[in-house]
């Protein structure tokens, strides 16, 4: 009896030692395989333009994409195509454009995950920029690392664009006010003091930060604004009131001390915000096409802007929506972007892998973070 009991205890002790070791080894092998799969996905997305290589502009829906890649065709390693980023992240594409969003299910299908894995992808500017409005014309910019350390002596350039609408004359006036070459202090802060203005429809502050070649951008939108989307040279705006015809608008831009100083555009014009132009903003004319989709969807407008620069960070346009004039803000440089399922934080499913790369989008640096984990069924 005693001998049998001792035998049982020895077997139990051996099993209790073997099983955790076997589980540890199995988990290690599983996570190693998972990392290999994640590396393959990251390399495909960041180093391959996909097929077709300009699918962000040339395709209408995900079924036309044979290989998913985000790299800019003919670009440098880890330089991404902003049009492909917009196609993956902008959920308003389906609402008023002839382009469909590359939804999460299509991303997983094209990456060959087939329900075995799930993932999340996040794009974040390398420098953490926040903007706080202190008064009607004063803004405080804070620049930190993502470890919450202040970034000192970073060069900060900024421009505030204020939009005004004269309803009686159907005239839009954009007032641009740049601030050049200010520097963050020991707390990573700098104050932007713009000219006092009033009566505006909406305003946008775009902040460019350069820390020894590490360049990031941040936008702060306020007032009566709505969102459009830009793909290639085409600006899409939707849900315009029937009694408003953008073709009848005239547009001009100026500076706070000379608001009417610019030439008046008698045809529709959009304001382009760019960091590399001779001026911080430019008015672009183009062909404005009313689109009536099939199936009863609401009409929208397609504004073809020929020759739009790739480094344009924002396009602005005024429309009338639900009885109010609003500023359309179509971004091409984002504060941050998330795609995919929320990353698990507990349980077996949380045993995923995380990979980070630094990428360039339109001349600005972003962290590309991919988390991949196995889909584990209960039981």
For every residue of 49-79, DSSP letters joined together read: --BSTTHHHH-SSGGG-SB---BPTT--TTE
* DSSP one-letter code for 163: E
pLDDT tens figures, 111-142:
998 778 889 999 999 999 999 999 999 999 99
pLDDT tens figures, 319-359:
998 899 999 999 998 898 887 766 555 554 456 899 999 99
pLDDT tens figures, 73-119:
999 999 999 999 999 998 888 888 889 999 889 999 999 987 788 89
pLDDT value for 328: 93
| Cβ-proximal residues to 136 (8 Å cutoff; 6+ apart), any chain | 196, 197, 198
* DSSP one-letter code for 255: B
pLDDT value for 98: 87
pLDDT value for 14: 45
In this prediction, residue 169 has a pLDDT band, given cuts at 50, 70 and 90, of confident
The stretch 162-171 carries a mean pLDDT of 89
Whether the predicted model's global pTM rises above the 0.75 cut:
yes
pLDDT value for 304: 93
pLDDT value for 23: 37
Q: Which residues of 133-163 are buried (b: 16+ CB within 10 A; e: fewer)?
A: eeeebebebbbbeeeeeebeebbbbbbbbbb
In this prediction, residue 68 has a pLDDT band, given cuts at 50, 70 and 90, of very high
Helix boundaries (H) for 322-369? none
Q: Which two tokens stand for residue 25?
A: 């080894």
Tell which wins on pLDDT, 258 or 334. Answer: 334
């Amino acid at each position: 009896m005693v001998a049998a009991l001792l035998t049982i205890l020895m077997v139990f002790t051996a099993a209790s030692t073997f099983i955790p070791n076997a589980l540890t080894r199995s988990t290690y092998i599983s996570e190693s395989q998972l990392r290999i799969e994640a590396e393959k996905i990251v390399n495909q997305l960041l180093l391959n333009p996909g097929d077709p290589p300009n699918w962000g502009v040339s395709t209408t829906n995900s079924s036309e994409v044979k290989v998913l890649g985000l790299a800019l065709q003919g670009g440098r390693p880890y330089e991404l195509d902003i049009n492909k980023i917009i196609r993956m992240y902008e959920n308003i594409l389906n609402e008023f454009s002839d382009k469909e969003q590359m939804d999460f299910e299509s991303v997983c299908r094209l990456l060959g995950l087939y329900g075995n894995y799930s993932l999340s992808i996040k794009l974040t500017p390398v420098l953490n920029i926040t903007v706080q409005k202190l008064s009607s014309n004063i803004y405080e910019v804070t620049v930190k690392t993502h470890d919450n350390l202040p970034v000192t002596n970073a060069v900060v350039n900024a421009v505030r664009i204020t939009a005004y609408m004269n309803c009686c004359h159907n005239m839009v006036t954009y007032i641009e006010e740049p601030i050049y070459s200010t520097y963050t202090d020991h707390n990573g802060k700098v104050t932007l003091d713009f000219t006092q203005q009033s009566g505006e429809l909406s305003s946008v502050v775009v902040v460019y930060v350069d820390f020894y070649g590490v360049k990031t951008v941040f936008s702060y939108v306020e007032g009566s604004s709505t969102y459009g989307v830009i793909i290639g040279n085409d600006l899409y705006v939707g849900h315009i009131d029937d009694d408003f015809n953008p073709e009848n608008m005239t547009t001009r831009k100026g500076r706070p001390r000379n608001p009417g100083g610019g030439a008046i555009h008698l045809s529709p014009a959009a304001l382009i915000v760019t960091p590399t132009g001779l001026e911080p903003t430019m008015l672009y004319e183009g062909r404005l096409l009313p689109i009536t989709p099939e199936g009863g969807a609401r009409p929208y407008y397609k504004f073809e802007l020929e020759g739009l620069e790739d480094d344009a960070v924002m396009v602005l346009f005024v429309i009338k929506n639900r009885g109010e004039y609003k500023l359309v803000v179509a971004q091409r440089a984002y504060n941050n972007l998330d795609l995919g399922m929320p990353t698990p934080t507990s349980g077996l499913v949380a045993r995923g892998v995380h990979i980070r790369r630094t990428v360039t989008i339109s001349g600005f640096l972003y962290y590309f973070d991919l988390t991949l984990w196995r889909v584990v069924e209960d039981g």
